[in-house]
């Protein structure tokens, strides 16, 4: 299941849910506020920009944003909101493609680094972020914590969300650190459901920190969410900030 197959035209058309879910104001506003603060007056680069859920409001805050995106249908959906001049987008893989210029901030939101299905690709994503950053620049990742403690012995699946009209469950392959997310969305009568699936490679926070060090980053902070809540053993996700040392600067191509 390739990423291009997952993020197709049908998915792009259904991706946005204005005012609800990950598009809800209580989700978006803290995200944009924190990223604007971390950009520190400089330009930002979003890996896997998608339909511009975060990039559009961040640009409206006055932060110049450029995007990298593999899916042409997702870019087409973004273009219904802003043009190329407002938010330029480079088509390609976030682990390898090079955007023009340098940035004070590179960011990856909503678990997107886990779309890269090997450890090697994830490490290359860190290195690619480092190549784009100015001295002192930051790389920010929002990522969930693998919920293996909730996985009963001998079982491969956990239900992580259940609400009227929707059930989300994950199936784990612990040998390869792979998980497939299953999204069941029911019709109004509750009799039929649409199933969408997406594969991921989950990353432990300590493994993420090692990837950062391999790419020349230093850890700066980790919180449980975009508001700065404390990260604890019970946290289900985290926002981790890494920084290129001032003396190091942009890594060579």
pLDDT band at 200 (very low <50, low <70, confident <90, very high): very high
The Cα–Cα gap between 205 and 176 comes to 17
Residues 115 and 231 in one domain: yes
pLDDT at 253 over 50: no
Residue 6: which pLDDT band, with cuts at 50, 70 and 90? low
Are residues 97 and 179 both part of a single domain? no
Looking at residues 132-155, what average pLDDT do you find? Answer: 91
Neighbour-count burial of 155, counting CB atoms closer than 10 A to its CB (0-12 exposed, 13-18 middle, 19+ buried): exposed
167 in a domain, yes or no? yes
Length of the chain: 253
Per-residue pLDDT at 28 exceeds 60: yes
Helices (H), the chain: 3-6, 9-15, 25-39, 55-60, 72-78, 119-132, 205-214
Write b or e for each residue in 98-131: b if 16 or more Cβ atoms lie within 10 A of its Cβ, otherwise e. ebeebbbbbbbbbbbbbbbbeeebbbbbbbbbbb
Of 10-14, 54-58, 64-68, 232-236, minimum mean pLDDT range: 10-14
Neighbours of 89 (CB within 10 A): 22
Residue 250 lies in a domain: no
pLDDT for the residue numbered 16: 65
**Residue 72 shares a structural domain with residue 138:** yes
DSSP state letters, 193-253: EEEEEEEEE---HHHHHHHHHHTT-EEEEEESSTT-PBP-TT-SEEEEEEE--TTT-SPP-
DSSP label of 145: P
* Domain contains 248: no
Share of the chain above pLDDT 90, in %: 69
Query: What's the chain's average pLDDT?
Result: 90
Domain that holds residue 40: 3-145+203-243
pLDDT at 4: 56
CATH code of 81's domain: 3.40.50.150
The structure's pTM equals 0.89
User: Does one domain contain both 181 and 223?
Assistant: no
pLDDT mean over 218-236: 97
Residues 62 and 165 in one domain: no
Average of per-residue pLDDT across 62-72: 96
Same domain, 25 and 111: yes
What pLDDT does residue 248 have? 53
pLDDT tens digits for 86-107?
A: 999 999 999 999 999 999 999 9
Same domain assignment for residues 81 and 176:
no
Question: Residue 235 — very low, low, confident or very high, per pLDDT cuts 50/70/90?
Answer: very high
Confidence of residue 149 (pLDDT cuts 50, 70, 90): confident
Closest among 119, 140, 132 to 201, alpha carbons compared: 119
Q: Check whether residue 112 and residue 226 sit in a common domain.
A: yes
Examine residue 249 and state whether it is found in any structural domain, yes or no. Answer: no
Residue 252 has pLDDT above 60, yes or no: no
Q: What is the per-residue pLDDT for 68?
A: 97
Residue 113 has pLDDT above 80, yes or no: yes
Nearest to 240 by CA among 203, 196, 208, 199: 208
Query: Are 52 and 75 spatial neighbours (Cβ–Cβ below 8 Å)?
Result: no
- φ, ψ at 93 (rounded to 5°): -80, 130
């Amino acid at each position: 299941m390739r990423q291009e197959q997952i993020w197709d035209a049908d998915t792009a058309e259904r991706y946005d849910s204005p005012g609800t879910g990950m598009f809800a104001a209580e989700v978006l506003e803290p995200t944009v506020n924190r990223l604007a603060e971390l950009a520190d007056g400089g330009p930002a680069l979003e890996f896997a920009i998608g339909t511009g859920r975060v990039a559009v409001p961040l640009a409206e805050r006055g932060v110049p944003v450029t995007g990298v995106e593999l899916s042409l249908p997702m870019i087409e959906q973004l273009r219904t909101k802003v043009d190329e001049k407002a938010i330029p987008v480079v088509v390609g893989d976030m682990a390898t493609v090079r955007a023009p210029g340098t940035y004070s901030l590179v960011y990856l939101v909503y678990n997107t680094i886990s779309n890269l299905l090997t450890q090697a690709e994830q490490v290359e994503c860190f290195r690619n972020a480092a190549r784009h950053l100015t001295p002192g620049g930051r790389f920010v990742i929002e990522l969930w914590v693998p919920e293996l403690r909730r996985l009963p012995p001998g079982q491969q699946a956990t239900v992580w969300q259940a609400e009227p009209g929707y059930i989300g469950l994950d199936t784990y392959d612990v040998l390869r650190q792979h998980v497939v997310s299953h999204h069941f969305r029911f019709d109004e009568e509750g009799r039929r459901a649409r199933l969408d699936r997406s594969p991921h490679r989950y990353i432990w926070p300590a493994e993420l920190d090692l990837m950062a060090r391999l790419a020349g980053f230093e850890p700066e902070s980790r919180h449980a969410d975009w508001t700065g809540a404390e990260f604890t053993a019970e946290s289900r996700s985290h926002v981790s900030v890494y920084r290129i040392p001032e003396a190091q600067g942009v890594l060579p191509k």
